[in-house]
Structure 1
Amino acid sequence: MLPEWAPPCGNQCTQKFSALTQIPWRVFCKKGCGADGDTWEECLEQCEEICYKDPVLKDQQWSAYIDRSPGAAVYSQNCFHACVAGCGYKFNIPSEKVDQVHPNRPTNPLPVQERKKSSPNIISSPSPRSSLATSDILGTSA
């Protein structure tokens, strides 16, 4: 028997995200499963709050780095989908509908890394052969 404090959908999250590498997503699934919202829509809103960075200080975009959301855009997307899965379990939403849910937030483009300016490829040509033979240099006869 499950303890009363554990939502029954927690087991479904554990089964869905059973691999060791999926532990973070299992946690976010359980957060969706245990969300406070009384409706599917409120649960989805909580998933967005949990998984996407917001500025912590009003009008200070840099303060989004203080937010404890997962970080990189791909992590936020994975977090969101795991959380939505938990909401789906909580409200008995068919998996087909759960899979179609997308965040209302634009995904942040991945930072573009500038390519280092490299020096032009210098192709060295083979050194011209000397007309002198090795024997001429060493003073020996061939």
Structure 2
Amino acid sequence: MGLGKQDRTKAREELAHDQERAERLPELLRSVAEAERALDEARERGALVEEVHEQGVRLDTALTEAMRAAYARERVLVGVGGYTDRIRRRKRLARPEIKQATQVAEHLLTVREAHRLHGIQQAPRSVV
């Protein structure tokens, strides 16, 4: 059973979108490192809770964007067929270069989740 023209077109569009996102991965990883440094510096100098919270949210945002780009890179490496054929996707995921991309994405996901659980300083609510 073949795919319709509309399905193939949609898969190509998704691949193009993922390629754009994946190309930004190095830049986004630099943003993560910068946000981590800024958060560490704020903590070390005893910054106000609000600033530490703000830096924590900034790191969360950077981690989220980098993680999304890493998963987009994985999908790009799998190829257009992976968007429409789950068997092809599973077979391609076993390739070493794709496994490495998956590990990067999963590591970013794990770091982000740990940061969300333990790394974002709660800011006091303002009373209005």
Shared fold (TM-score, shorter chain, > 0.5): no
Richer in helix (by share): 2
CA radius of gyration, larger in: 1
Q: RCO greater where, 1 or 2, for CA within 8 Å and sep 6 or more?
A: 2
